[in-house]
Amino acid sequence: IIVLVSHGTSGLQILAKSKLEKCQRGSESDALNCTSKIVLDLSVPSETSGREASMVAEIVEAEENSTNHRQTLRAPPIITVNKSAAYALYELTYLRDVAYKPQELYVQTRKCEPDGGPRVVKVCERLRDEHGHIIEHTQPTCCPCGEQRRVPSSCGNFFDKLIKGKANTAHCLRFTDEWFHVFAIGQRSIGFRIRIEVKTRSKTSEVIVGPENRSAISDDHFLRVNLVGDYVGYTDIPSFDDFYLVVPRQTNSGQPQSLGSDFSKWMLLERVRFTLDGFECNKIGVAYEAFNSQPDFCAAPFWSCLHNQLWNFWDADQNRINRNQVPLYSVQGRFERINQHPNVGSHAFSIGITEVLNTNLVVELRADDIEYVYQRSPGKILGITVPNFEALTQFGTATITTKNTGDVEASYSLTFHCSSSISQMEEQFYIMKPNEITIRSFKLYPSSDRASKYACAAILKDSDFSEVDRAECQFTTTATIIENGSQTPFQPPKTGVVGFFDSIREFWDAFWSGLADFLTGRKCRSKCSGLFDLSCHMQCISMSWIVGFALFLAMFPTGIVMMWGLHQRGVFDWLYDWWDDSRIWNHHRHHHHRRRHTHRPHRRHHHRHMHGVGRE
């Protein structure tokens, strides 16, 4: 009979107790190596709301089976159990970045064109990338003036339209400098640590167990602990398989930086609220093409296609908090102990478990009574393989090859520990036959976005929980690449005060640029259809068009003067002669025809009369 007197939390319970003689052997021919043990099966509860708990107990009496006589121990072993706060750690996979507040900008202007320059469309000018190339679908959408338009505006009078051009508005989508990382949430793992310390008169033995290291033995082999598990499963731990975690971007560099400790703007939103390709309106991640392609653009309300964005959900939560209500989307205020787990990395997400659950521990000390035989065999780690992978966007896989190098079938446990930036992995238990080779794998989830080099160690334990082999390895991860999708950051035009020389330089640049456009007509040729597009050229005048149109008009008087000079030189005399001859010939034929058919009797009488006179 073992009597435990608790000096701390009264929830410590003895589930079973026994005295046994534990014997081991390494082969069928080996003699048994027996030691006496006291086995305690303990139920260790957590503190209220899952917080840290501690308890102290001591073994004060023991009873021998042979004599049934209870004896008080002269130096009672003192057992101290410390259980840390329990937490749920979630795997994160980086997807892309999204804008916090997409904005629709508009400019009241005249002569709006999709390819208009900053003098016409101002902030809605087409955007360019770092290489100077125009980004697709960033051009403004031009809407006519009127009261029933997207933005009501005055069309002015007839003279304004005639002199200045038709009034209209230019609309464009732009993104500010506030961006959020989007992470997909994967599997969760339960984490806590239990520290067991046993003090005797001569020594102190200590081990630490947890989900990632369920079995441990003290250096002096006096204490051995096995973490069996928790009674009843956790029921209040949420699952975020259908959610994305959004976290504010700390800097504007090309990689996701540390997520920081300010959880005030961390939000959990359903995946259906996002459009990762940017082709859907009224969803987080909407891009230029969806905005410009919405039907009846000029008749739709202002800011259409830009609803249900991150700032809308943030404002909705702030209104609930101001009314003393629990937020719906913000992490802070919904969960406790956010990212308070040990060795928290720069990219991690964990929440505290608020349930009070008991953990089953089996503690072995030295005693005697029953006989128990188990087989123990040596083993070896043959190799470790870890391919390189991109941090956050992918997970790595460590493949470990082990072998039973003994002569009997035995059980083993395998742990894989890496540096603090890699999430913890649970210990694996398995059985190997003599000379059997087994391959086990562990998934690696780094919490850093940088290109890093990691060192890890694989530890193989035998059935006695003693380390039989250890192997180390190294692997590297490539840096996470920031992905904005089809959302392009927008840099507003500078509105600050410029210096005197800067203003002079800008004036001369604008002057020479305008003069070059006026002389060459390059801008007008791209807008006007041809030389005779008078309505366009009256609004876009250039020297080349003036000269061309003047030459066209000068063709008529120049042609007349040239014809007159040629006439004076007699170049066309042959033409005149031909014309006169043609007229005389036609007149002669016409006159002769009349004499024959119309005046024939009169002519005969005349001849007679003349003939008579001659004779006389």
Dump the DSSP string for 485-553.
TT--B--PPP-SPPPHHHHHHHHHHHHHHHHHHHHH-HHHHHHS-STT-HHHHHHS--HHHHHHHHHHH
Q: In what order do the strands lie in the sheet with 167-174?
A: 103-110, 167-174, 141-144
Query: In whole angstroms, what is the distance from residue 415 CA to residue 417 CA?
Result: 7
Q: 453 vs 519, which has greater pLDDT?
A: 453
pLDDT band at 337 (very low <50, low <70, confident <90, very high): confident
Q: What is the pLDDT of residues 46-57, one digit of tens each?
A: 765 666 777 777
Q: In the predicted model, is pLDDT for residue 182 greater than 50?
A: yes
pLDDT at 497: 46
Q: 595 vs 186, which has greater pLDDT?
A: 186
State the average pLDDT over residues 421-437: 87
Nearest Cα residue to 284 out of 251, 250, 329 = 329
State the average pLDDT over residues 163-176: 84
Instruction: Say which CATH class 13-23+33-60+74-86+186-232+351-372 falls into.
Output: mainly beta
pLDDT at 569: 79
Name the pTM for this structure. Answer: 0.61
pLDDT at 306: 93
pLDDT band at 202 (very low <50, low <70, confident <90, very high): confident
Highest mean pLDDT among 384-388, 563-567, 609-613: 384-388
pLDDT band at 318 (very low <50, low <70, confident <90, very high): very high
Q: What percent of the chain has pLDDT over 70?
A: 74
pLDDT at 331: 92
Query: In whole angstroms, what is the distance from residue 541 CA to residue 539 CA?
Result: 6
For the ranges 175-184, 361-370, 380-389, which has the lowest average pLDDT? 361-370
Measured CA to CA in angstroms, residue 568 lies from 82, 95, 572 at distances of: 124, 87, 9
Given the structure tokens 């749920």, which residue do they identify? 88
Highest mean pLDDT among 11-20, 57-66, 139-148, 247-256: 139-148
Core vs surface per residue 488-508: b (16+ CB within 10 A) or e: bebeeeeeeeeeeeeeeeeee
Q: In the predicted model, is pLDDT for residue 517 greater than 90?
A: no
Query: In whole angstroms, what is the distance from residue 396 CA to residue 442 CA?
Result: 8
State the average pLDDT over residues 93-119: 89
Question: Which residues contact residue 229 at a Cβ distance below 8 angstroms, ignoring those fewer than 6 apart?
Answer: 359, 360
For 189, counting Cβ atoms within 10 Å of its Cβ (0-12 exposed, 13-18 middle, 19+ buried), the class is: middle
pLDDT band at 578 (very low <50, low <70, confident <90, very high): confident
For the ranges 179-188, 545-554, 604-613, which has the lowest average pLDDT? 604-613
8 Å CB contact between 417 and 459: yes
Range list of H helices, 213-369? 288-292, 310-322
pLDDT band at 484 (very low <50, low <70, confident <90, very high): low
State the average pLDDT over residues 324-352: 86
Q: Which helix (H) or strand (E) holds 594?
A: helix 573-597
pLDDT at 245: 95
Q: In the predicted model, is pLDDT for residue 13 greater than 60?
A: no
pLDDT at 328: 93
**CA triplet 294, 296, 299: central angle to 5 degrees?**
125
Measured CA to CA in angstroms, residue 112 lies from 116, 144, 330, 493 at distances of: 6, 9, 42, 19
Domains of the chain: which residue ranges?
A: 13-23+33-60+74-86+186-232+351-372, 102-175+276-305, 375-478
Measured CA to CA in angstroms, residue 324 lies from 267, 478, 530 at distances of: 18, 45, 68
List the structure tokens of 576: 């005149």
State the average pLDDT over residues 455-464: 90
pLDDT band at 1 (very low <50, low <70, confident <90, very high): very low
Q: What is the pLDDT of residues 467-481, one digit of tens each?
A: 999 999 999 888 877
Highest mean pLDDT among 100-104, 365-369, 551-555: 100-104
pLDDT at 496: 45
CA dihedral 291, 297, 302, 303 (to 10 degrees): -10
Question: Which residues contact residue 568 at a Cβ distance below 8 angstroms, ignoring those fewer than 6 apart?
Answer: none
List the structure tokens of 523: 């801008």
Considering only the C-alpha atoms of the chain, give the largest distance between any 2 of them, rounded to a whole number of Å.
206
8 Å CB contact between 362 and 20: no
pLDDT at 600: 46
Q: In the predicted model, is pLDDT for residue 213 greater than 60?
A: yes
DSSP code, position 150: S
For the ranges 21-35, 344-358, 402-416, which has the lowest average pLDDT? 21-35
Core vs surface per residue 429-438: b (16+ CB within 10 A) or e: eeebeeeeeb
Q: What is the pLDDT of residues 233-261, one digit of tens each?
A: 666 788 898 999 999 987 665 555 566 67
Q: In the predicted model, is pLDDT for residue 574 greater than 90?
A: no
Q: In the predicted model, is pLDDT for residue 448 greater than 80?
A: no
CA 222 to chain centroid: 52
State the average pLDDT over residues 382-397: 86
pLDDT at 605: 43
pLDDT band at 424 (very low <50, low <70, confident <90, very high): confident
Fold of the CATH domain 375-478: Immunoglobulin-like (2.60.40)
* Helix/strand/coil percent split, the chain, to 5: 25, 35, 40
